[in-house]
Structure 1
Amino acid sequence: MREKLLDAIRQHVIAEYPNEACGVIIQKGNKQTYIPCHNDADDPLNAFVMRDSDYRSAEQEGEVIMIIHSHPDVPVLIPSEMDRIQCDYSGLEWGIMSWPDGDFCTFSPRTDRDYVGRPWVLGHADCWSLIMDYHKREYGIELRNWSVPYEWWVGGKENRYDDNWRDEGFIEVQTPQPGDMIMMQIGAPVTNHAAIYLGDNLILHHNFGNLSTRVPYGQYFRDRTVRIVRHKDIPDA
């Protein structure tokens, strides 16, 4: 990256320290420019939420080609899993500057990630996130995002699976085929988990606090199954 851009990022990071700074790099013709944005996060010391109006204004000035933010007071500059998830979702290259060290790194969206081995990030990389990704990649089906960054199932006041599966286009079936969603109730008063049936008695799921994995659809999961559903746009086997 050109030193002029790095210096502009550096000056913004210094001005926002100890909070996280955030901004974008735009391309207009042959010129690249760094545009600082406001951080509207509730905890700006440890996170950033870029102001929507700032991003829209930047888009009017040129093509946004990179998202920038800072990591204050870190011993080693390493993108967090949340950074990588958000980068994947944005479809853009990301850059991070540490401060006061002043190190800088960039990373790109991950494509064709394995379904197995994904770290758990509640509200961003959880069982529904995996369901969404599987349907989009395998069948081109876009599901709405019902994941939230809190344990919604505690106390039974929210019922995000039971309230929404029909509206997402799922139909209940009796015998699972590969691609079906198995909805479960695990340690909660409501349906709070889902897996993809892969065939050969295997399921793909992302259980609370663990890496996503493939496991047998054994008695433990069968006893906790609420229903098996299939999206209307997936043909019967």
Structure 2
Amino acid sequence: MTELLNKCRADAEAHALAEHPREAVGLVIASRGKPRYVPCRNQSEELDHFILHPEDYAAAEDEGDIVAVVHSHPDASPEPSLHDIASHAASRMAWWIVGLRDGVATWHEMSAAGEMPLEGRVFVHGAIDCYTLIRDYYRQARGIHLLDFYRQDDWWHKGGNLYLENFEKAGFVATYTPRNGDVVLMAIGSPTPCHGAIWLDGDVLLHHLYGRLSCREVYGAAYRERTTHFLTYRG
């Protein structure tokens, strides 16, 4: 087994060198108890970020059990960034990071994390934020796995309109009256909808505001005035 895991690391290092100076991303999968490294496509347009192609993830999942998510830090140590730590926690999977500095590979491995509670989360944009909470609610409460989307911090002030551009791709349609578990979109400090929340029976929001812990809160006048859309899931 040690030899097979070392082969996985060697294959991941070769992939990282081939992708340099971009971050490489791949998966370690186990088929019949034997692990191997599967290189995947990085959809990110930024050199120091990765977005694992969903088709590659699905294909790897069909081949075996996913053991770990692997990505590289070009020209840097393998120590996880704050974004790595948050994304690792959100993924609930083991992560391996290979650092490439002067052509020398070093490793940092993080064990699989447990399920994050929906309330009391620290906000880290793009990893543990309002859309992460929506995705986790739908997975935990309804067994629905929503698409993920890369989101640059402060996108709502940079010409982006991510919620309106992508809600149909994620399986939602607009509605006029929210029901338990529907999504509420709000424009908070922005000309476009930049915040999403879950509407719950009793006129309560489950949401995660920028700079605050995730929580349940009464859907009061301040939020109603900033609401732009109600969305219901149709698949």
Question: TM-score per shorter chain, which class?
Answer: 0.5 to 0.7
* Amino acid aligned to 2:118: D
Shift of 1:7: 6.4
SS at match of 1:160: helix
Shift of 1:8: 5.5
Q: Quick one: percent identity of the two aligned structures?
A: 28
Contact kept, 8 Å, 2:51 with 2:150, in 1: the verdict is no
Query: What CA distance in whole angstroms lies between the structure 2 residues aligned with 1:76 and 1:163?
Result: 33
Query: What CA distance in whole angstroms lies between the structure 1 residues aligned with 2:158 and 2:88?
Result: 29
Taking a change above 3 Å as real, the CA distance of residues 10 and 187 of structure 1, as seen in their structure-2 partners, is same
Query: What CA distance in whole angstroms lies between the structure 1 residues aligned with 2:137 and 2:201?
Result: 15
Shift of 1:39: 5.8
Larger radius of gyration: 1
Structure 2: runs of 5+ lacking an equivalent: none
More helix by share: 2
Taking a change above 3 Å as real, the CA distance of residues 149 and 57 of structure 1, as seen in their structure-2 partners, is closer
State the match for 1:78 in structure 2: 80
Show CA shifts across 1:18-68 (max 9, x none).
Answer: 764444334344543345567675444x23455789878877976653332
Contact kept, 8 Å, 1:203 with 1:214, in 2: the verdict is yes
Query: What CA distance in whole angstroms lies between the structure 1 residues aligned with 2:31 and 2:199?
Result: 47
* Amino acid aligned to 2:137: Y
Query: What CA distance in whole angstroms lies between the structure 1 residues aligned with 2:159 and 2:75?
Result: 39
Aligned pair 1:127/2:104, yes or no?
no
Query: What CA distance in whole angstroms lies between the structure 2 residues aligned with 1:34 and 1:163?
Result: 32
Show CA shifts across 1:70-119 (max 9, x none).
Answer: 34565673364446536855x75332234558343132254353333142
State the match for 1:93 in structure 2: 94
Aligned pair 1:102/2:92, yes or no?
no
Taking a change above 3 Å as real, the CA distance of residues 188 and 198 of structure 1, as seen in their structure-2 partners, is same
RMSD over aligned Cα, in angstroms? 4.6
Contact kept, 8 Å, 1:156 with 1:190, in 2: the verdict is no
Query: What CA distance in whole angstroms lies between the structure 2 residues aligned with 1:117 and 1:155?
Result: 26
TM-score computed with the length of structure 2 as normaliser:
0.63
State the match for 2:198 in structure 1: 196
